[in-house]
Chains A and B, each alone.
Chain A
Amino acid sequence: MKTILTLDVNGEPREVLADGRDTLLELLRDRLGLTGTKEGCSNGNCGTCTVLLEGEPVCACLVLAAEVHGARVTTIEGIATGNDLHPVQAELIRHGGTQCGFCTPGVVLSAVALLERNPRPTDGDIRHAIAGNLCRCTGYDKIVEAVAAAAQGGAP
C-alpha cells in the first residue's frame, strides 16, 4: 500500500511516495537518495542509522516512514553548511575519530544532538550520548576527544 508523505528533510519540504512497509531508513536512502545514513544491524542495536527526528536522535530502522508524516528529520547531509563542516565533523577528522567511517554519520548526529542540549558536556556525558553508536575501529577515545573539542569551539 503506497501513500504520499510530506515531511521536512534537512530544512526542505519533501513529498515522497512510500510503501507502508518502508522504514524511515528506507525512505531516506531508497526513496530520497540520501545515502549518507547507513544501514547497520536494522534492529536498533548499533545506532549506525541514527538521524534526528524533531531534533532528537532515533534509529531510522526502528521508525516506520508513515510515522514521520508531517515531521522534521535531519540527516548527515543536513549537518554541514555548504562546504563548511560542522565543528563535530571537523574535530572528528582532526582527532582521527573516524577510520572506516561507517558509524560516523550516526556518531555525528548523536554528538550534534548532545551539544544542542548540553554545550559543555563532561566526558561521561559524551560517552553516554554515543553509547548507542557502535564503532569497531576507534576504541571511542578519539571520538570522545573530538566531541569535547567541538564543544570547546574547536581547540586542538
Chain B
Amino acid sequence: MHELGYDGPTTIDDAVALLAQGNARALAGGTDLVPQLREGRRHASRVVDLKRIAELIAIQRSADGGWRIGAAANVTRLARHAELAVAHPGLIEAASLIGSLQIQNRATLGGNVCNAAPSADAVPVLIVLAAQAEIAGPAGRRIVAIESIPRSPGQSMLAPGEIVVAILLPPPAARQAARYLRMTPRREMDIAVAGVGAFIELDAATGIIASARVALASVAPTPIRAAAAEAVLIGQRPTLELFAAAGAAAAHDAKPISDTRGSADYRRELVAVLTRRALTRCASDLGIPLP
C-alpha cells in the first residue's frame, strides 16, 4: 500500500464531495476494507470515514412503523436496540452471525451490503424484508432495492462518489415473519456454505400466504431471490409439505459452484433443507401449527 489519507467528515455532503476527489473509498466498519487495502486486494489513496456523520449511525423508527438504519451503525448497536430487536428479530439474528463480537463492534449493514460478498449474512434477510438502500451521491439521493446493490463478488452497483446512507425497512404487515439460517461447519467464526432468508406474510382473515420471499446466499455470484420457491408458497396454506416443496424449488433456483467449502450438489441440498427450516421458523414465530 502506498500513501493513505484519511478524512472524517461530519456531513453527507462533505463525504460525497471528498469521495469525488481522486481515488477515495468510503470506510464504514473497515472489517473488509482495511485488510483489502493492506493486502493490495483493493486500492485507494484516501479513505472517507462515514462513522462521524450522525445520520449514518442513527437508528430511527419512522412514523409509519418502518425503520431507517444508518448504513454505518455497527451490528452491536443494532443488536442492543431493544425496539428494533423486537420488530425484526430475524434481521438481528442474521447480523449477529457476522464474525466475532470484535467484528460486530465494527461491522455495519451498509458495509455488509456494499462489500458484495456472495456469503454476506445480513443480505438475504434484508432482501426478503424488501429493504431498500438510500444512496447519496454527486447527483443527489436515490433509493434502490437492496438486492440490486451487489453486482458481482466484491463489486457493487454504486457509481463513483456514491455511498449508501441508510437501510430502509418498510413497515411490517400484521402477520409477517422473516428468518435467515445458514450452514457453517464450525459454530462460530465461519463463512456460510449456504444461507437462506425466508419471509412469509399471512392474510389476516384466511391464514393463506399472501406474500413470500426467499433469498439465497453463497450459491451464486451475489445473493439471489429464489423466484420458483416464492411461486410455490404464494396463495397456499402453510404446511410442512409446502415448505419442503418450496425448498426443492429453491434448490433448483440456486446456481452454486463447487469450491473448498462445499460441492455444488451439497450446496443445493443445503438450500432445500435451510429453506424448509427457515420457513418453519417463520411459521413458529407466527404461532401457526404446521399440519
On A, residues with C-beta under 8 Å from B are 1, 3, 19-21, 23, 42-45, 47, 50, 53, 56-59, 61-64, 66-67, 69, 110, 128-129, 131-134
**When the two chains form their complex, are residues B100 and A131 in contact, meaning their CB atoms are under 8 A apart?**
yes
Binds A, one of B30-38, B212-220, B222-230, B242-250: B30-38
A20 touches B4 (CB 8 A): yes
**A47 and B101 alpha carbons, distance in the complex (Å):** 10
Chain B's nearest CB lies how many Å from the CB of A114?
A: 9
Is there contact, CB below 8 Å, between A56 and B31?
no
Q: Are B51 and A67 in contact (CB-based, < 8 A)?
A: yes
Q: In the complex, what residues of A have CB within 8 A of residue B100's CB?
A: 47, 131-133
The 3 closest A-B pairs by CB, nearest first: A132-B100, A66-B6, A131-B188
Interface string of B88-106 (1 = CB under 8 A from A): 0000000000011111011
From residue A97, how far is it (CB to closest CB) to chain B in Å?
Answer: 19
- Which B residues are in CB contact (< 8 Å) with A53? 105
Given A56-B76, A64-B34, A132-B189 in contact, is the A44-B102 Cβ separation under 8 Å?
Answer: yes
Also in contact, A21 and B1, with CB within 8 A (given A64-B6, A128-B188, A129-B101): yes
CB < 8 Å neighbour of A44 from B4, B27, B99 = B99
Residues from chain B with Cβ under 8 Å of A44 in the complex: 31, 35, 99, 102-103
A58 touches B102 (CB 8 A): yes
A132:B99 contact, CB within 8 angstroms: yes
**Which secondary structure dominates where chain A touches chain B?**
mixed
A57 near B105: Cβ-Cβ < 8 Å: yes
Q: Which residues of B contact A110 (CB under 8 A)?
A: 101-102
Q: B113 at interface (Cβ–Cβ under 8 A)?
A: no
Knowing that A20-B5, A62-B106 are A-B contacts, what are 10 other residue pairs whose CB atoms are under 8 Å apart, sorted by A's residue number?
A21-B38, A42-B38, A44-B103, A47-B100, A58-B106, A62-B29, A62-B34, A69-B8, A129-B101, A132-B101
CA distance in complex: A50, B102 (Å): 7
Q: Distance in Å from the Cβ of B80 to the closest Cβ of chain A? A: 10
> B30 contacts A62, CB within 8 Å?
yes
In the bound complex, how far is the Cα of B31 from the Cα of A111, in angstroms? 21
Complex-state Cα separation, A129 to B100, whole angstroms: 8
Complex CA gap A69/B6 in Å reads 11
Residues from chain A with a CB closer than 8 A to the CB of B99 are 44, 132
In the complex, how many residues of chain B place their beta carbon closer than 8 angstroms to a beta carbon of chain A? 28
In chain B between 97 and 124, which residues have their CB closer than 8 angstroms to a CB of chain A?
99-103, 105-106
A63 touches B106 (CB 8 A): yes
Q: Quick one: which of B6, B8, B105 contacts A58, CB cutoff 8 A?
A: B105
A20 to B8, CA, bound (A): 13
B117 → chain A, closest Cβ, in Å? 14
Provide the residues of chain B in CB contact with A69, threshold 8 Å.
8
Contacts A23-B34, A42-B35, A63-B34 known; A131 to B101 CB distance under 8 Å?
yes
- Min Cβ gap B186→A in Å is 9
When C-beta atoms are compared, the residue in chain B nearest to A109 turns out to be B102
Question: Could you list 25 A-B pairs, sorted by A, with CB under 8 Å?
Answer: A19-B4, A21-B3, A43-B39, A44-B35, A45-B189, A47-B102, A56-B76, A56-B105, A57-B101, A57-B102, A59-B106, A62-B30, A62-B35, A62-B102, A63-B34, A64-B27, A64-B49, A66-B6, A66-B8, A67-B8, A110-B101, A128-B101, A128-B188, A131-B188, A132-B102
CA A136 – CA B27 in complex, angstroms? 32
A18: nearest chain-B partner, CB-CB = B6
